């Protein structure tokens, strides 16, 4: 995984270590997909068989046009859609052999839509993330530290007493990511986490995620962000996996044309040394 900056000073490293201390009990998990397919219909597969091994601690980005199957795939991974064929294994165990609580103790999810009226403060929303691993009723000093650390990492500590319902879309998204961090997951799954975020917060959030001591599975629309932060990129089109490899191997002019129907100029980013893109239409 890479940082958003090319180097880190000793003082910054100490701050990072302190900021992530509450993650010390996490063990990055591996996930294995074996011919995973899904559809709500009998005669039409919306998600065609996918086989891929996600390594512990890996940052896997999933990209593809609208309707390509990204969200359907993620739903199979966080135990919402049971595959109609194939299996999803969490460190070698069938995901569907585990209870919902067992899954929630290891997998945290941030969805695209955080709509609805919750009637909770920001602090209380993030506190919900403690529930899967909570053994006693009430909030301990350690619990408060986890909540406060999660809020600080997402730059929303100043919103702690605000009503969650009063926040902007971008603020809500960062609070929901903070809630997932408070869960201290071994795998963190995010569906379009940069939606609603301005440019600075897009970069801040992905730089933060790339440093987490857990496995990351993230769907993204922005190929430049996927290229800058992911270890591997899984490309989807019409419910089918087209490729799964490091960004420099996946993002070719030919594949981008095939999947997204646009022409591309590709060069190297001068800081990250990852592929950089300029898109245009040449009909």
Write down the pLDDT at residue 115: 67
Tokens of 193: 């986490």
Write down the pLDDT at residue 139: 73
Q: Is 34 left (phi over 0), alpha (psi -120 to 50) or beta?
A: beta
Write down the pLDDT at residue 102: 92
List of long-range contacts for 64-67, beta carbons under 8 Å, 24+ apart? 64/235, 64/236, 64/237, 64/242, 64/259, 65/237, 65/259, 65/260, 65/261, 67/238
Structural domains present in the chain: 10-251 (3.40.50.300)
Write down the pLDDT at residue 207: 92
For residues 122 and 159, is the Cβ–Cβ distance under 8 A?
Answer: yes
Beta strands 215-219; 187-191: pairing state: parallel
Write down the pLDDT at residue 113: 74
Write down the pLDDT at residue 4: 36
* The Cα angle at residue 108 between residues 106 and 109, in degrees rounded to 5: 150
For residues 180 and 100, is the Cβ–Cβ distance under 8 A?
Answer: no
Pick from 186, 203, 196: nearest CA to 91: 186
Q: Where are the alpha helices (DSSP H) in the chain?
A: 10-19, 70-77, 100-104, 122-127, 141-153, 169-182, 199-211, 223-229, 247-250, 253-260
Write down the pLDDT at residue 282: 85
Q: What are the residues whose beta carbons fall under 8 Å from the beta carbon of 22, sequence distance 6 or more?
A: 145, 146, 149, 150, 184
Rg of the chain over all Cα atoms, to the nearest angstrom: 19
179-204: per-residue pLDDT in tens?
999 999 999 999 999 988 999 999 99
Mean pLDDT in order along the chain per 10 residues (283 residues): 36 53 84 96 88 97 96 96 96 94 94 78 95 75 90 94 93 94 96 91 92 94 94 97 96 96 93 89 84
Write down the pLDDT at residue 26: 81
Which residues does residue 62 pair with via DSSP β-bridges, in sequence order?
219, 234
Rounded to an integer, what distance in angstroms lies between the CA atom of residue 243 and that of residue 75? 20
Q: What are the residues whose beta carbons fall under 8 Å from the beta carbon of 244, sequence distance 6 or more?
A: 52, 60, 232, 233, 234, 235, 250
């Amino acid at each position: 995984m890479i940082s958003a900056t090319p180097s880190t000073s000793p003082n910054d490293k100490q701050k990072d270590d302190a900021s992530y201390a509450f993650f010390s009990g996490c063990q990055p998990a591996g996930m294995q997909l074996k011919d995973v397919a899904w559809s709500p219909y009998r005669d039409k597969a919306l998600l065609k068989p996918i086989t891929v091994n996600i390594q512990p601690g890996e940052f896997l980005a999933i990209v593809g046009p609208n309707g390509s199957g990204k969200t359907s795939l993620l739903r199979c991974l966080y135990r919402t859609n049971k595959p109609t064929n194939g299996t999803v294994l969490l460190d070698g165990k069938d995901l569907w052999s585990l209870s919902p609580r067992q899954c929630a103790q290891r997998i945290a999810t941030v969805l695209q839509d955080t709509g609805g009226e919750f009637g909770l403060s920001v602090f209380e929303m993030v506190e919900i993330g403690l529930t899967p691993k909570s053994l006693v009723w009430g909030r301990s000093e350690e619990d408060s530290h986890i909540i406060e650390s999660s809020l600080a990492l997402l730059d929303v500590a100043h919103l702690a007493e605000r009503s969650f319902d009063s926040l902007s879309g971008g603020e809500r998204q960062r609070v929901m990511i903070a809630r997932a961090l408070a869960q201290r997951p071994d795998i963190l799954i995010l569906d379009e986490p940069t939606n609603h975020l301005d440019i600075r917060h897009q970069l801040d959030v992905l730089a933060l995620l790339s440093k987490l001591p857990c496995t990351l599975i993230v769907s993204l629309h922005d190929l430049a962000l996927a290229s800058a932060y992911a270890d591997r990129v899984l490309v989807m089109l019409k419910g089918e996996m087209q490729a799964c490899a490091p960004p420099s191997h996946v993002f070719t002019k030919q594949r981008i044309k095939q999947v997204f129907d646009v022409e591309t100029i590709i060069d190297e980013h001068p800081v990250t040394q990852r592929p950089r893109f300029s898109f245009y239409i040449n009909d």
